[in-house]
Amino acid sequence: MKAMVLERPNKLALRTIDDPRPEEGQVLIRTTHAGICGSDTKIYEGKMPAIYPVIMGHEIVGEVLDGDTTPTTKPGTRVLVDPVLFCGKCFYCLRNDTHLCPNGVLMGREINGGFADYCIAKTSQIYVLPDKLDSKTGAAVQVLTTVLHAQDVGEVGRGDTVVVSGLGVTGLMHVQLAKTRFSKTVIGISRNPFKRSVALSLGADYAFAHGDEAEKAVLDITDGVGADIVIECVGHLALLGE
């Protein structure tokens, strides 16, 4: 099969390698769609440690071909792959804090991922895509789940004034989800004028650039009260101070 292999930081190569073979409890998946996100760029640049060589890609949608299939995951079934594997035995896993598992690995970083014709996943990692959701959109569901979790924890809801700082894919999803939760006012903030225009087209009530202008605008819009919830989607310490 063809695969995009990260051989070392900043060295990504298209290689022909053997097709993977599923073991017990695994399925073979034909990759149809794989997203690229900020984590991929960090892995590529070596800013996020990886085990080399590795096939990149962790936002994966494909079709089940073979392996430990079931009536609901028979060959031809479209599935979304959860790229995170954890031990299930450590202190954190037993508390259901699997994201803190010291033995956890990520497809596309420590083990082979989805930038290839085929990939392997455990049966516990796959989720059947509903017919009404196309595969291209399905590749973004993993991002949406993090957005949904954040808004659940933050209790975003009816009547809130929500500020979303950073209008990349994650930020734009936050804008849309906040509106579906009947937030009263959603304000997008980004230095990029194009991203601000996209946010407005997706339901944001206002969009401003970072800095004093945004702070003043939020206070004006809320009669000096400020936002109920601020969602920071950039991950830059300087912006946290705003």
DSSP letters for 190-211: -S-HHHHHHHHHTT-SEEE-TT
Token pair listed for 34: 């794989």
pLDDT computed for residue 187 by the predictor? 97
pLDDT computed for residue 236 by the predictor? 66
pLDDT computed for residue 72 by the predictor? 84
According to CATH, the topology of domain 2-139 is Quinone Oxidoreductase; Chain A, domain 1 (3.90.180)
Strands 54-55 and 26-35: unpaired
pLDDT computed for residue 139 by the predictor? 93
Closest listed residue to residue 142, CA positions, set 28, 30, 51, 58: 58
pLDDT computed for residue 241 by the predictor? 56
How far, in Å, are 67, 122, 123, 205, 234 from residue 25 at the CA level?
8, 6, 6, 48, 38
Local confidence pLDDT in tens for the 242 residues of the chain: 999 999 999 999 999 999 999 999 999 999 999 999 889 999 999 999 999 999 999 999 999 999 998 888 899 999 999 999 999 999 999 999 998 999 999 999 999 999 999 999 999 999 999 999 999 999 999 999 999 999 999 999 999 999 999 999 999 999 999 999 999 999 999 999 999 999 999 999 999 998 878 889 999 999 999 999 999 998 766 655 55
pLDDT computed for residue 238 by the predictor? 62
Computed over its alpha carbons, how large is the radius of gyration of the chain? Answer: 20
* pTM, two decimal places: 0.86
Stretch(es) of the chain classified as CATH 3.90.180.10 = 2-139
Residue type, 81: V
CATH of domain 144-240: 3.40.50.720
SS3 at position 169: helix
Own/partner contacts of 106-109, CB < 8 Å, gap of 24 or more, are: 106/58, 107/57, 107/58, 107/60, 107/81, 107/83, 108/40, 108/43, 108/54, 108/55, 108/56, 108/57, 108/58, 108/83, 109/39, 109/43, 109/48, 109/49, 109/50, 109/51, 109/54, 109/58
Is the separation of the CB atoms in 199 and 190 below 8 Å?
yes
Q: What single string gives the DSSP state of each residue in 37-52?
A: -HHHHHHHHTSS---S
Stretch(es) of the chain classified as CATH 3.40.50.720 = 144-240
pLDDT computed for residue 213 by the predictor? 83
